[in-house]
Amino acid sequence: MANEIEKFNAIALADIEKINGKTDDNIEKLNGFEFTGTTPVEGLFAFGFDGSATTGVSNKVNTSGVVASDVSAVGTARNYLAACEYGTGTAIFAYGSAADSNLINSSGVVASDVTATGTSRNGPAGASYGGDKGIFAYGTTGYASETAVSNLVNNSGVIASDTSGVGTARKTLGACEYGTNTAIFAYGQTDGSPYVYSISNLVNSSGVIASDTTGVGTSRYEVAGASYGGDKGIFTGGANAYGIRDYTNLVNNSGVVASDVSAVGTSVKAGAMTQYGADTAIKAFGDSGSMTAISHLISNSGVVGADVSGVGTARKELAAASFHS
């Protein structure tokens, strides 16, 4: 059952261990409202390009943010795909250089290929919305053929047909959740002018994408996004015509993007991010001038940590999502 309580005495649930000596496992309701507490999640990085070929390997992230070694590929190797959560503890990877999707169960196991519904495209982004559903949007079908179409994912992991595009068509953007059951898409590029963007588009709890919001921060592409802190989001990484521009931009619980914060540690583009633990995130893999597998943990205050030595196949243009049992 969904949690109907976000805060207790203005304190986020993720910051509460006990109430009157009882854990959330011992409390069913508070004042008649469902109280399920916070379930720690694990993460999964999968697919990508290793510098010579596309790959289908995956790497799990435990609830402490430790990245595991490679799991052999399941599904068609591909890059420039996207991922998002759906249902309860499950996720989906879709699109990219092959027109397929792969469901992820609550143990982080990647299922075999299913032909993806809707426009086949590279460089879309994905996020969850509505508590148990997902959305993929934007991307490109070829040179100078960017699109703004979106595809909703129901709570069984079924991708719906195309919804007409809203906002500026672009590719290699980022997406994340914020607030309560809402999401945001931001940044990206086109093959024409102005080339890179900092604009954003909010997604409401019904999966409807809003028109462009004027950009904040440095315009760039190959950006990654994830949620943190229970109700906020973060974008990191990227590049523009001047090279790798790995800035961090926090998103508050109203969907407002903050100005740039300089990168911590090795700067990358084309990496991926996902949630782990109760309210924290991890950024890993990407292109730092060469393929890398380094990771950075992100605290529940949105602070990016120092480099953590890479585990697994160094690669870029991959995707990531969370799961839990």
Q: How many helices (H) and strands (E) does the chain have?
A: 0, 25
Beta strand 146-153 pairing with 133-140:
antiparallel
Beta strand 133-140 pairing with 280-287:
unpaired
CA distances from 214 to 5, 133, 243 (A): 32, 27, 23
CA nearest neighbour of 268 among 257, 283, 281: 283
Provide the terminal-to-terminal Cα distance of the chain, rounded to the nearest Å: 14
pLDDT by residue for the chain (325 residues), tens only, comes to: 345 455 555 555 555 555 556 555 555 555 555 555 679 999 999 999 999 999 999 999 999 999 999 999 999 999 999 999 999 999 999 999 999 999 999 999 999 999 999 999 999 999 999 999 999 999 999 999 999 999 999 999 999 999 999 999 999 999 999 999 999 999 999 999 889 999 999 999 999 999 999 999 999 999 999 999 999 999 999 999 999 999 999 999 999 999 999 989 999 999 999 999 999 999 999 999 999 999 999 999 999 999 999 999 999 999 999 999 9
Q: What are phi and psi of 114, to 5 degrees?
A: -130, 135
Which sequence spans correspond to the domains of the chain? 1-38, 41-323
Q: What is the pTM of this model?
A: 0.90
The first and second tokens of residue 149, run together, are 């179409």
What is the rounded CA–CA span in Å between residue 239 and residue 242? 7
Instruction: Give the single-character DSSP code of 313.
Output: -
The first and second tokens of residue 73, run together, are 């590929």
pLDDT at 15: 55
* Identity of the amino acid at 56: G
pLDDT at 146: 98
The first and second tokens of residue 243, run together, are 């090279």
pLDDT at 38: 77
| CB contact set of 202 (below 8 Å; sequence gap of 6+) | 182, 183, 184, 209, 210, 213, 255
What is the rounded CA–CA span in Å between residue 216 and residue 72? 39
CA distances from 256 to 124, 198, 232, 235, 251 (A): 21, 13, 10, 12, 5
What is the rounded CA–CA span in Å between residue 320 and residue 13? 25
Angle at 170 between CA 166 and CA 175, to 5 degrees: 80
Architecture of domain 41-323: 6 Propeller (2.120)
